[in-house]
Amino acid sequence: MKISDEGGLWSYLESQPLNKFHIILTIICLLILTLDGFDMTIMGFVAPSLMDEWEIGHDVLGVAMSSGLLGLACGALVGGTIADQFGRKNVIFCAVLLFGVLSIASAWSPDIETLIILRFLTGLGLGAAQPNVATLIAEYAPVKYKSTLICIIYCGITLGSALVGFIAKEVIPAFGWEGVFIVGGILPIISLILIAIYLPESILYLLAKQKNANYVDKVMKRITTANDYTIEFNPARSDDTVAHQQAKFTPIEILKQPYLLCTLSLWLGLFMNLMCVNFLSNWMPLLIRESGFTLTDAALIGAIAQVGGTLGNIFIGVVMDRWGYHKTMFLGMASAVVFSLLLTQYHSTLMIIGILAFFLGTVVNSVNTGWTSLSAIYYPTKIRATGTSTMTAIGRTGAILGAFIGGLILATGIQAINMFYFLALPLFICAIAVLLNKKLITQ
C-alpha cells in the first residue's frame, strides 16, 4: 500500500489493531490531562480559604476564577493554530512547562490581584495542552477504539479535579492554600521527562509538512510490524507547494461551507457544557459549605462529583462506540437536567447530596468529553487541531461565564442550593445542541 498523503495515512492508522504503542500513548496523554485537570480546578478548592484569609466576596472570587478560564480560552484558541504549524508535541511540552511553573508562582501571590494575573497566565498553558492532546490521540487511535481512548484520556481532567479535592482536604489544614498550588506545579514539571521521551509527534502533521521522513518511519515501526505499506515523501513537493496546500486550510476554513453550521453546533454544545462543568468544579465546594456543611465535607463532595466524572468518561467512551455519539450524549444531558433539579429539593443530608453530586458529575463531565470526540473525528487533518482548539476556546468562554455569573448570583444573597435551578437551563440547551449537531452531520 502506497501512502502519499494524510488521508491515506489516517485510514491506515485507523485500521491498525490496538497495541503497546497506543497503550503507552494513552497513558502519557492521560497523565497530561490529569495534571491539567488538577491545576484547572485548584481555585474551586482553595476558594473558601482565600475568602477567609483575604476577606474577599463572591464577586471578586468569581473574577479570580474567570481569569484562569479566560486564559484557558486564549490558550486553546492559539494552541491549535500554533500546533498546526509547529507540531503537537512541541506545543504540549511548552504548555505543561508553562502551567507548572506558574502554578508554583501562584503560591507566593501576596494579594488577589496578583493571583488573578497568574491564574490567567497559567490558563494559557492549560488551554493549549488539552485540545492538542486530544488531537494527537485521535490521529493515532484505531477507529474501533477512537472514542473510547479519547474518553479515557479525558478521564484525566476529572481525575485531576478529584485528586485536588482529596489533596486539599489534607494539605490546606497543614500547609495552607499555598501548598495545593505548589503540588500542582511540581507534578507537571516532573512529567516533562516522560513527555520528552515517550510522547510521539503527529506523523500526520509531519507528512502534511513533508518533514522528518526518518522519524515517521521509526514511529510507524512502533505501530506495526507489517510491511504492507510505503510512505512516500515526495521531494517535488517543495516548501512553496506545501505552503500553497496549507493555504487552502486556513483557520477561517472552519467557518466556511461545508463546515460552518456543524462548527456552530459544536461551539454551542461545548459552550453550554463547559459552563456547567466549570460551575460544578469552581462553585460546588463553596455551595456545599454555605449550605451548612464543614469545609472538609465541601471538599469531599467536590471530589465525589469529579470521581463520578472520571468513571463516566470511561463508561461513555464504550457506550458511544456501541450506541453512537449523539444518542449517548443526549441521554446524558437529559439526565443531568433531572439530577440538577433534584439537588434543589433533596439536600438535607450529606449522603443524599453526595449521591446526586456523583451522578451529576458523571453525566456532565462525560458528555463534555463527547464534544471533543465529535470534533476530532469531524475535521480533516490540516484543520483538525485548529477546529478542535477553536471549539475548545469558544467552550471556555462558557466556562468563564459559568464561574463569573455564579459569583454574581451568589452575591445577591440567593440560597446557595438554589443555584442548581440556574444550572438546569444550560444543560437543557446543551441537549438541544446535540440533536442539532446530529441533524447537520447526517445531512
Query: What digits encode the pLDDT tens for the residues 298-314?
Result: 878 888 887 888 788 77
Assign 22 a pLDDT band (cuts: 50, 70, 90): very high
Assign 297 a pLDDT band (cuts: 50, 70, 90): confident
Q: How far is CA 393 from CA 58, 159, 215, 329, 346, in A?
A: 25, 22, 31, 20, 35
From 123, 124, 131, select the one nearest 88 (Cα to Cα). Answer: 131
* DSSP assigned state of 110: S
Work out the mean pLDDT of the chain and round it to a whole number: 84
From 404, 372, 417, select the one nearest 391 (Cα to Cα). Answer: 372
Assign 330 a pLDDT band (cuts: 50, 70, 90): very high
Given a cut of 50, whether residue 363 has pLDDT beyond it is yes
Omega cis (within 30) before 258: yes
Grid cell listed for 179? 501548598
| Comparison of pLDDT for 76 and 104, the residue scoring more | 104
What per-residue confidence (pLDDT) applies to 103? 96
Q: What is the DSSP string of 407-429?
A: HHHHHTT--GGGHHHHHHHHHHH
Share of the chain above pLDDT 90, in %: 30
Ordered by where they begin, the domains of the chain are 2-442 (1.20.1250.20)
Given a cut of 80, whether residue 249 has pLDDT beyond it is no
The residues, any chain, with a CB within 8 Å of residue 360's CB and separated by 6 or more, are: 280, 305, 308, 336, 339, 340, 343
From 407, 414, 12, select the one nearest 230 (Cα to Cα). Answer: 12
pLDDT digits (tens, 9 = 90+) for 418-427: 788 888 999 9
What per-residue confidence (pLDDT) applies to 116? 94
pLDDT digits (tens, 9 = 90+) for 167-195: 988 898 889 999 999 999 999 999 999 99
What per-residue confidence (pLDDT) applies to 228? 65
Range scoring the smallest mean pLDDT among 89-98, 129-138, 375-384: 375-384
Assign 118 a pLDDT band (cuts: 50, 70, 90): very high
Assign 4 a pLDDT band (cuts: 50, 70, 90): low
Q: How many CB atoms lie within 10 A of CB 7?
A: 12
What per-residue confidence (pLDDT) applies to 232? 64
Given a cut of 50, whether residue 162 has pLDDT beyond it is yes
Assign 247 a pLDDT band (cuts: 50, 70, 90): very low
What per-residue confidence (pLDDT) applies to 244? 44
pLDDT digits (tens, 9 = 90+) for 230-240: 666 664 443 44
DSSP 3-state of 2 = strand
E strands along 194-348, which residues? 230-231
